[in-house]
Amino acid sequence: MAATPALIHVESIRTAVPSRVAGAGLSLPITVSGPPLSAAELQRRFRAVLYYRGAGVREPEAAARERAAWVNESLSAALVDHPEMAGRLRRRGDGDDGRLWEVKLRDTGVRLVQASAETTMAAFLEATGKDRERKETALAWWTDVDVDEPDICAPFFMQLTRFQDGGYAIGASSSLLLADPLSLISFLKSWARKHAQLQAQNKLVANPVIQYTRYLQNPGAAKRLKSVPLDLGSAAAAAADATTTVLFWAANVSDHRGLAAACVGKACEKLGAKEPPRRFTVVGPLGRDGSGGLNVQACTADAQTPCHGHGHALRVANWREAGLEELALEGSKPVHVSYCVSPCADEGLVVVMPAGGTELLISATLPNYM
């Protein structure tokens, strides 16, 4: 008799909005060089999951709700300094050709999901490689961006999942049109600092602000909204299983198409691919620092440079260099951090990220079948 699969229970979905008006009315342009963005292409995203040890015992419901309340409060405070993370994707201009987009800073907020897992964190982390990547889709909620009404869909989710042994996970999923991986990591670091500051300030007052949060005293607050098997297959899980991401450092140059092609070539060599993908997309900043918005370029095989990265000095990188392993919550660093770039099926995806100064971090995600 087959064992009953462990479940993930979604207990609440709320919205963390900036604690004061930030960036209202502003927008960041997105220019598409190539075919209009399809529904599938709007789901390109980056996921990070951070795991933290707990007390070694099942956490009481009240303590879990209090942690979720703190996350909600600190997210609202952090969004004041990063209003773009609370924005929404939408088409801009009068045309409807799918090539002119923007991130509208509307203070709409970040979706915050609270969940629990019918397993221990220790048991969950025993899974490795692609097996764990597939299961991790349940730890970082995502709802597809609607191609017809994108502005009603949240492009950024954070999920707080508690395990049966007291451990917990913070999962973040962000559209690559909203934030590149380095930008998301930078926001998470800023949020963690704000989280620590608010908790420290709270200890100095007689009546902690968190105590008046109504849903902490509401017995129905933890009502389950949805329960799904932990190892349930999904399009995102299949995409993660079918691709591999390689990272590179490179000098900051304006020719992102040529640099991306060189990274695809080097990634092919590293992965032992027989040939490069027939098509790949480059997502990168407009300008050297990304302040001018985002550019999405479609590239085909005949536009690629040979698989040796000629003309570009590339150095293989890894996600640990971004520093997310140092992100401390409640005085503890994560015991493990996972990263995943979700592209469209059957194509390559290159994300060019300004890293400050004169360097770029580039992720090249390629199909495994090549």
Q: Which helix (H) or strand (E) holds 11?
A: strand 7-16
Superfamily of domain 7-235+319-346: Chloramphenicol acetyltransferase-like domain (3.30.559.10)
pLDDT score at 232:
58
pLDDT for residue 241 is more than 80? no
Phi, psi of 305 (to 5 degrees): -85, 160
Q: Which range (43-57, 65-79, 149-163, 296-310) has the least confidence? A: 296-310
Q: Binning pLDDT at 50, 70 and 90, where does residue 1 land?
A: very low
d(CA 224, CA 115): 9
Q: Which of 269, 273, 281, 260 is nearest to 352 (CA)?
A: 260
pLDDT for residue 207 is more than 50? no
Count how many residues are written for the chain. 370
Q: Which range (11-20, 58-67, 142-151, 265-274) has the least confidence? A: 58-67
pLDDT for residue 47 is more than 80? yes
Q: Where are the domains of the chain?
A: 7-235+319-346
Helix, strand, coil percent content, the chain, rounded in steps of 5? 30, 30, 40
pLDDT score at 78:
95
Phi, psi of 284 (to 5 degrees): -155, 170
Question: Considering the chain, what is the average pLDDT of its residues?
Answer: 85
Top mean-pLDDT range of 237-246, 294-303, 331-340: 331-340
Q: Binning pLDDT at 50, 70 and 90, where does residue 94 land?
A: low
Structure tokens at 293: 């918005």
Top mean-pLDDT range of 30-44, 98-112, 173-187, 205-219: 173-187
pLDDT for residue 107 is more than 50? yes
d(CA 129, CA 269): 21
Percent of the chain with pLDDT over 70: 83
d(CA 261, CA 132): 30
Q: Which of 352, 265, 278 is nearest to 310 (CA)?
A: 265
Residue partners of 286: CB distance under 8 A and separation at least 6:
29, 31, 292, 293, 294, 295
Single pTM value for the model: 0.89
Tell me which of 70 and 62 has the higher pLDDT: 70
Percent of the chain with pLDDT over 90: 57
pLDDT score at 3:
58
pLDDT score at 128:
82
| Cα 91 from chain centre | 22
| Cα 273 from chain centre | 27
d(CA 250, CA 72): 37
Neighbours of 170 (CB within 10 A): 23
d(CA 183, CA 189): 10
Neighbours of 309 (CB within 10 A): 20
Q: What is the DSSP string of 257-304?
A: HHHHHHHHHHHHHHHT-SS--SEEEEEEESSSSSTT-EEEEEEEGGGP
pLDDT score at 25:
75
d(CA 312, CA 252): 10
pLDDT score at 202:
78
pLDDT for residue 156 is more than 90? yes
Q: Give 329's DSSP letter.
A: B
CB 27 within 8 A of CB 294: no
> E-strand spans in 35-147?
45-52, 88-91, 100-104, 110-117
| Cα 361 from chain centre | 16
Neighbours of 307 (CB within 10 A): 17
CA 233, 343, 100 angle in degrees (round to 5)? 130
Q: Binning pLDDT at 50, 70 and 90, where does residue 97 land?
A: low
24: three-class secondary structure by DSSP: coil
Torsion angle in degrees (nearest 10) through CA of 89, 93, 94, 95: -70
The number of CA neighbours under 13 Å toward the Cβ of 45 is 26
Q: Which range (39-53, 92-106, 121-135) has the least confidence? A: 92-106
d(CA 107, CA 285): 23
Interhelix angle for 61-78 vs 181-202, to 10°?
Answer: 120
Q: Which range (50-54, 72-76, 95-99) has the least confidence? A: 95-99
pLDDT for residue 214 is more than 60? no
pLDDT score at 347:
86
